[in-house]
Amino acid sequence: MPRSIGYIEIARLLLIYGHAYLGRMQSTKRVLVIFLDGATDDPIPLLNGKTPLQASNKPFIDSIASNGTMGCTMSRDYTHFYLLELFTGVKAEIPRGVIEAYGMELPLDDRRVAYRMSPAKIENGKAEWYYKISCQDEMNLQKAVLKSRDKIREMDPKVYFYNGGKAVMTVKGTEVLNLPKPPAPADVQPHDLGDFGPFAESIADMMGGITLLPWGGGSGKEAESFRKSVRPIPPMTMISKSPSALGVAAFLNIKRERVAGFKQGIKLAKDLIKKEDVFLHIEETDDISHKRSPREKVEIIEAIDKELNRHVKDFSQCRLVLLVDHGASSLSGDHIRMEVPYAISDKLTPFGTSRSYAENGWERSELPQLLEQIYRF
């Protein structure tokens, strides 16, 4: 009769093959991954038919593309979907609210539901996501949310605010509202919001129509089984200002450092890369896309490149990797499904580049295998 395998034997096999997998993913150099969220785009008439990446003067970034290998993989709709598949090798659509609740360390279990909360205006049953929010409106929105919490008091709301008027919230309950996701405009009726209806209406009354809408909801229970079954991940530190990236790191037990923006992130990466691998997530390229300003997207890319180039001596000693998770249109503000580029290099050239890191038709790699490719380059 075939021998049955007990839990101890399964654990022993996972340990053996886990170490073997990590053994394949060893680099002789420190690895710095520079992750440009939403950097790819469509050709823009205002930029003479070029994309922002193609139109940008970015010698540091292009040097990585010029001195190593370059390819592409298929994008994912949202950052956390890309990161989860990159790290685990498995396509996992864990809800955005759940991931961000992990990142912001909000209470979440099988009796609580987590939501991402985004500013929006609802007029005639249509929700328009509100990205061009001023600092004053952002502060007023936070005050309106706090004043309106009584409307959902029985749900025991726990909320964490971050940039752009966005927030993460967990509430008591097991029912999950299936609401439309940004950035595209969506049909939303008052009854769709369930118990959040009076809460959203109260905020809108105080804010002249701007409110905070929940989406990407899920419970902690549905994510735990996946979390316990992932493959080993090389030790590294995730640097980001984004609850999504930080949430993936927390969810997968990756060390993480929260920063205010890309300048602080690059400076921290410069210090950490001397002793450990670093995954630097830069969100500003996606943020500016939603504001529908192609020239500003070019300016952001160039500013990021300039800041990276300030630390070229520190970064030239490590393996450099460029990744993009999805396209983001700086004309419509929508995410774009498209092939996205990657580049891997062990050296930089101080002068001159032969290739541009941009939307391309280079050899395609599958996302689940990309992490191993980065470490075995």
- Residue 23 has which token pair? 């053994």
- C-alpha to C-alpha distances, 142 to 147, 151, 246, 352, nearest whole angstrom: 9, 15, 22, 48
Closest Cα partner for 334 from 40, 137, 52, 35? 40
pTM over 0.75: yes
Give the angle subtended at the CA of 192 by the CAs of 188 and 195, to the nearest 5°.
130
Total length of the chain: 377
How far is 117 from 213, CA to CA, in rounded Å? 5
Closest Cα partner for 328 from 180, 184, 213, 129? 184
Looking at residue 165, the DSSP 8-state letter turns out to be G
> Tens digit of pLDDT per residue, the chain (377 long)?
334 434 344 344 444 445 445 555 555 789 999 999 999 999 999 999 999 999 999 999 999 999 999 999 999 999 999 999 999 999 988 999 999 999 899 999 889 999 999 999 988 888 899 888 899 999 999 999 999 999 999 999 999 998 889 999 999 999 999 898 888 888 988 889 999 999 999 999 999 999 999 999 998 876 777 877 788 899 999 999 999 999 999 999 999 999 999 999 999 999 999 999 999 999 999 999 999 999 999 999 999 999 999 999 999 999 999 999 999 999 999 999 999 999 999 988 766 678 999 997 778 999 999 999 999 97
Domains of the chain (ranges; CATH) run: 27-90+231-376 (3.40.720.10), 97-221 (3.30.70.1130)
Residue 86 pLDDT: 97
How far is 70 from 362, CA to CA, in rounded Å? 7
CB contact at 8 A, 241 and 258: yes
The 10 Å CB-count burial string (b at 16+, else e) for 343-362 is bbbbebeeeebebbbbbbee
- Residue 362 has which token pair? 């280079």
